[in-house]
Structure formats: C-alpha cells, structure tokens
Amino acid sequence: MDRLSTLQLLIRIVELGSFTRAAQEGGLGQPAVSKQVAALEARLGVRLLERTSRGLKPTAAGLDLYHSAVRLIADLEETESRIRSGSSGPAGLVRVATPPALGRMYIIPRLPDFVAQFPAIAVEFSVAQRTVDLVQEGIDVALRVGPLKTSNLIARRIGSMEMLTVATEGYLAARGVPHHPHHLDGHSLIAGHTGGAIHDWQFRNEGAALTVTPAGALRSDDGEDLRAAVLAGLGILHGPSALLRADVDAGRVVQVLEQFTPEAVPINLVSTGGRKMAQRVRVFMDFLAATFATDPGLASR
C-alpha cells in the first residue's frame, strides 16, 4: 500500500475509532490494516494510536498527522475536481453542520449567489440540534450558537443572536401576560430539549442571571416543532430570534418579558483547519460570514 493510501486509511481509523471498522469499510483484513499502521509508526518513530476503554484514539502525534493528512487529501480532491470541471477556481464538496433554523431560513435562501460565483463547489448540509463531532463525522465547518467549549477547533465569530420570549395574542388573552419571569409559573411553557434534557430559559434581572426550567403541553428537539406549537397557541416559547423574529415582525406572536431579555449569544464557525484549510472551505466560510454580517438580526454586536 502506498503512502497516500496509508494516510487515507489512518484518517478513517481515527474517524471510526476502530481498526476493524476501517478494514471492513476498505475491504481489507484487520491484520493488514494493523500492519500498515505499524509500518507507518515505525517509519515515523512515534506512536500514532492508543487503545482506550472506548476504542482507539490518536496520540498527540497521531492527531497532528491526522489533521495534516485531512488537509492533504482535501487539497488533492479539490485539485482533481477543479481539473475535471475545467474550473480555475475552488472546487469539490463542502460539508457543513448547522442548526435547523439557521440553515433553512438564512443560508439556503442565499446560496444561489454563492453557487453562481463558485459553480464547481457542492454543499452538503448536516442538520442537527446536537453538537456534531467534526472529526468523527467528516464535517468541514459547523455553525455553533452559544458559548464555545475549549477544544482544538478553530473558531471564527460571525454573528450573534437574541433569545425572544413570545406567545400568541389569543394565548395571552386567555392566560394573562407575564410581567416578570417569576410570573411564568402556572403558564404552559413550550420546552426544547436535547436527548431528553430540557433546555433552561435564561433571563437577566437587574444585571443578575435568572433561570427558569420550562414545563408545559409540548416539548421537542426540533425548532420548527417549537415554532409551530407557539403559533398554534399552545403556550409561551423562549427561543432564538433566527426562528421567531419574522413572526414577531408580522404580528403572528407577541414578545413578552422584553426587559428581561438576556445578552445575545455568539454565533461561531468552527473548523479543524487553519492556514492550510482547503480553498473551497475557506470561501464558503467567507460567504457565511458575509451573509450574517448583512443581516441586522444576526450581525455581531
């Protein structure tokens, strides 16, 4: 097996966390895969992989080689795509992970301009409320809303988003208008969740944080479900402006507790690449940054 094929194999081992799964995927025997990795480690003089209770994970040297190999393969694939298409610009596939509302409502409607400028680039969306693992799932860039955890990923802030508390006029006429977060007790609160864990609602009260755990007639891990529920008059929803601002502006829902609105949360692009990032990924990230910068509701502040 040549050096490039060995690097491709190492990439899949790291991403799958298993010699066996990488071997099955590549139509190889597990001993052959182990032998190739051992030969690579011997040539470099370092350990690249180590076993843990959860499978295989790269050592520091292995992770360094993994990132370099990913960029190398990405550059090669981009060059091949550009040559095949006869294009002089960036080419290939960009895999992007987005929360549902941001992709559907803000990015996809503006993609025609990007496609017109970069016709040789294809975009693949992975839509999820959860935080995706870029390495394990082969994602080039992900949008993250909220504070970022410490990691080895490269982050680029491109905007911010407010949280709005809303309900229909009909619901408020029947149940009353809350004038303080403490008045939410007794109301039907539409709750978002991830894996069954309810998302708390955060407010600001005279400079101090105030947390409410919602409970009511409906909970969902999908933003469109939550929006549909509040529009149906099922209760009060505390959700992102990206999902709800158009409904507020159109009068379909009414904003309440405005004086307790928490600070806007950051929107970041995260990626594994740095200076050697594939050009197709870089131009798509620039497109996303420009898209958010020109929207008053999402621009950084």
| Residues of the chain falling short of pLDDT 70 | 1, 82, 85-88, 129, 150, 273-276, 300-301
- Which residues are within 8 A (CB) of 240 and not within 5 positions of it... i.e. 6 or more apart? 101, 145, 161, 162, 163, 164, 223
CA torsion angle 102 103 106 110 (round to 10): 160
The predicted pLDDT at position 212 comes to 94
- Which residues are within 8 A (CB) of 2 and not within 5 positions of it... i.e. 6 or more apart? none
The predicted pLDDT at position 87 comes to 64
- Which residues are within 8 A (CB) of 63 and not within 5 positions of it... i.e. 6 or more apart? 14, 152
Tokens at residue 109, please?
Answer: 């409607």
Residue 3, CA distances (Å) to 7, 10, 37, 179, 244 in order: 6, 11, 11, 66, 51
Phi-psi region of 200 (alpha: psi -120 to 50; beta: other; left: phi over 0): beta
pLDDT in tens, 254-272: 999 999 999 888 999 998 8
The predicted pLDDT at position 274 comes to 60
Residue type, 213: T
Is 236 in contact with 184 (CB distance < 8 Å)? yes
Q: Which domains does the chain have, with CATH numbers?
A: 3-65 (1.10.10.10), 89-161+266-293 (3.40.190.10), 163-263 (3.40.190.290)
Tell me the C-alpha distance between 169 and 156, whole Å.
39
The predicted pLDDT at position 67 comes to 77
The predicted pLDDT at position 150 comes to 67
The predicted pLDDT at position 276 comes to 64
The predicted pLDDT at position 124 comes to 92
pLDDT in tens, 236-256: 999 988 889 889 999 999 999
Q: How far is CA 43 from the centre of its chain?
A: 37
